Structure 1
C-alpha cells in the first residue's frame, strides 16, 4: 500500500491570518462558549460533565441500576441520526460515541429525556408535551426489551423529524457532501471559519498515519475494497473546527484518493481524525474497558453502533489518542429546530426505541427480560411514566435553564469587557 502526499496538505494561507497550533485553544474555547450561549438546547449539547455531576448528587437507589452494557454516554438529540454502513445501507442509530463506557443504561435514557425536554422548551412547545414525551420515552425504551412487542417494533413509524433526515440521507451523494462539508467538489479543503491550515509537523503526522509502514489497517478503516496493495494518496488535510463539547481537542479532516479513483473523476474519501479524551460518563466498577481512550471509543462503537464502529479505528497522532473514521454521505444529525408539537411525542418514542435496541442487542434473552421486569416494577400502572424519570427530567431541565442563563450572563459581561478594553 503506497502513500503519496500533495503539496496542498500544508497551505500558505496568506489571505487570512490563521492561528498557529499553540494559539488555537483560547479561540476554540471562546467559540465553544459562543455556541453554548445560543440556546438552552445548545447548552445541553456541551454539558455532559454537568449532567453527570447532577447524577452523582443523587442518593443511592434514586434511579434504576441496569445491567452494565456499553452506553453512548452523551445521548442527546444531536448524537442520533441516520448512519450508513460500509455498503451505504442507512438506519437511525447513535452517531457519536466520544463518551461511551460500560455503564448504567438508564443514563442514556435520562440524557435523551433532558435533550428532548430542552428542545421542546426551545421550540416553545407547551409543558404538557414534555409530560407526554416522558411517557413515550419509557414506553419506547421498554419496547426494545419486550419480545411480545416485536411486531409492533417492526411497524414503528418514523416521526417527521426522522423522515426528513432519512430522506436527506438516502438522497445524499458524495458531490453533495462535498458542497456541504468541504464547500466544493474539487479534491481540496478551502480554508476559512471551519478549516484551518496545518503546521508542517501536523501534516507530516497525518501523512504518516496513511503510510505503508503504519500500524493502522487502512483496509479496515476505508472499506473492504481497500486491499493491502491499494495506493492511497493524501490529497489534502486541515484542522477541523467542528462540534461543541469536543471543541478544543485536536480534530482533522483528510481527503484521500484510493487507487486514483478521484483522479479518474470519482469522489474522494473523507476521513475524520478526532482526539479522544477521558469520558465524563461513569463506568461500571470493574468494567473490562480499554484504558486507551481511542480504543475505548472504537470498541464501544462496535457494540453500540456496529455499522459505525466498523468504520472506526484507534491510532496515535503526535502522542495523542485519536479515532479515525471514514465519513459517509448519509451520516447526518437530526435538526432540533424541526421538532413540532405534533411530532415531539412520536420522536421521543422512536428515539428511545433506538437507544433501547442499542442496549438490548448487547444482552441475552434472560438479561433483557430481567431488565424489563425491573423497569416495569419501579412504578405503578396507574401512571404512564415512572416518577424517577419525570422527576429527573424536571430537575435536570430546571438546573440546565439556570446554568444556561448564568452562562449567558457571564458571556455577555466578558464580551462587554473586551469591547471596553
Structure 2
C-alpha cells in the first residue's frame, strides 16, 4: 500500500496525444483514429489578433481538417473547463488533439481539487479544517494530502475545479469553493464529480489509446525517506518500474522532474528511459536563479541532460524595438544543443484581464487575447520548442496544424 499511495501522492502523469481509437463528431483525418475537436477558442483568438502576416496565416487554416499533434500538451488535461486531474479532463484534452494528462499535480492539494472536506475523509487530513475566526482575523485553513488516505479512499472522491480556499469559511463546504467561485475565465459547467485516477490507472488509459507518456516525478511534500525507509531514489525508480511492469517501451516515455538529482538518477540507472528525460526548471523564478540557470546549461548538457523545460516567460523577452524575441536562456540552450519544452499556456487569466505570471517578461508587448498566438509563434519558430503545455490544448493543436508541426 505504501508504494501505491506514494505513486498517486507524488507523480504527475502526462501523455502526448498521438492517434487514438475514438469515434464521435467533428473533423476526422484518416489515420488519426480520433475526431479532433478544438472548440471555438482558437478561432476567437485568431480573430482577436492584430493585423499582420501571422494572423493571415492562421486565418488561412480555419477550415482545415485538424489532426492530433505531438506538439500540443494538455496541462492537467483541459482544466480551463474540466476538473484537473480527472479522467474527464484527460479525455477532453485528447479530443482536442493533445495529451500530457496530469494524474496528480501535487501531493497536498486535495482540499482544493476534490470534495474531501465534504466527506468523512476530512478527518484524515494532515491539517484538519479550521474555520475562520472573525474576532482574531485568523483565516480558515486545511491541508489534505494523498498520503493521508488509501488508494481506495482516494478513488472515492470527486475531482472539482481547482480553487483556493475561502478565507472566511466556517465549514468545509464553504472552504472548498462554494462561496469562493471558480475564476471567471473557467467554468463549473462540467464539474459534476470528476473521476480521480491513480498513476497506474492513467498508464492503462493512455496505453489503451496507443499514446506516449510524459510522467512527472512530483517533488515530495512529505519527509523523505518516507516513513523512514522509502528513499527518493526508490521513488524515482518506482516510477520507471511501473512502465516496465506494463510493458511500455522506453521510447514512448518522457520522464520529468523539477529536481535535477532525479534526472541524474535516470541518466545513471535507466539510460533508455533517460533519453527523453525533461528537467523542469523553476530556478528562473528569481533574477539570481535565472542567471544561475543560464550559466548551468553547458554543464547540464555535459552531464547528459537533453531537454530543459522552464516556464514561458523565461524563453521570451521584448527587444528595444518592442518585438518579442528569444531570451538569453533560449539562446544559451540552443547554443549548447539542449531541446526545450515549455509550460503553461492559458494557465493565467486572459491577457485582456492583465498580464500575470506566464507572460510577465513580455508584458510591455501584449494587450489583447490574440497576442497569445504572437508569443506562441516566437516560442515555436524562433525558440524552437519541441512541445507546449496548455490548459486548453486546442489552442496549441490549431497552431501546430496550421504550421504542420508534430503531425
Highest CA radius of gyration, 1 or 2? 1
TM-score higher than 0.5: no
More helix by share: 1
Q: What TM-score results when the alignment is normalised by the length of structure 2? A: 0.25
